[in-house]
Amino acid sequence: MCLWITAPDERNRHYPGESAEPAPFTLNKAYPKTRPAILKIFQAIFGLVAFLCAFFAPWWTDRSVHAFRYLEFVCQWHVWSVIFLYILVLLNVHYRLSCIDWALTELIHYVFAVIFFFTAAISAAVFAANSSMIAATVFAFFALALYGAGAYMAYQEWKEKGAHRPAFV
């Protein structure tokens, strides 16, 4: 039931640069121009390209099939999760779910993404046998770097804001 309950003092508190808490399910027009939003778009694009390169590889060896299925899984999972987080902030839903520490949630998401992309990219690099598999591996490493940058930005935001208010996810 904490989804719609906020402390009375939190509801009336204004932070620098904010006039008031925006209404949930309204479009946050300023968010797509922020660095976290642009980073999320690039993460989704590079994850999707890595997935498509692995998916449309002309042939896999018996040894490489598990590595590239794992890479496909990691890419799909994190593309959908980053799109979900993007839409969550774009529609100001994170203000409605005020019982969740969004900065910490995003930090945990990015840490797991970095770990999974690292293991998937390394295993794909070991078994890459043709040009599309190599391309999938390269884009997986680029996605790894982008998720690492996202983890760093999420850590900075979590350290700065803590659990005081919902963060730009």
Q: Which pLDDT tens digit goes with each residue over 18-28?
A: 445 677 678 88
Q: Look at residue 2 and tell me whether its pLDDT is greater than 60.
A: no
Q: What pTM was estimated for this model as a whole?
A: 0.79
- At residue 11 the predicted structure's pLDDT band, cuts being 50, 70 and 90, is very low
Average confidence score pLDDT of the chain: 83
Residues 42-75: tens digit of each pLDDT: 999 999 999 999 998 877 777 778 888 999 999 9
- Rounded CA-CA distance 52/76 in Å is 10
In this structure, are residues 25 and 90 in contact, taking their beta carbons and an 8 Å threshold?
no
Lowest mean pLDDT among 31-35, 133-137, 159-163: 159-163
Tens digits of per-residue pLDDT, 27-46?
888 999 999 999 999 999 99
Counting residues of the chain whose pLDDT is more than 70, the rounded percentage is 82
pLDDT at residue 141 tops 70? yes
Mean pLDDT of 105-111: 94
Integer CA distances (angstroms), 40 to 12, 85, 86, 99, 161, in order: 30, 9, 7, 23, 20
Report the alpha-carbon distance of residue 140 to residue 122 in Å, rounded: 9
What's residue 97's pLDDT? Answer: 81
pLDDT at 165 over 80: no
pLDDT at 162 over 90: no
- Whole-angstrom distance, CA of residue 133 vs CA of residue 139: 10
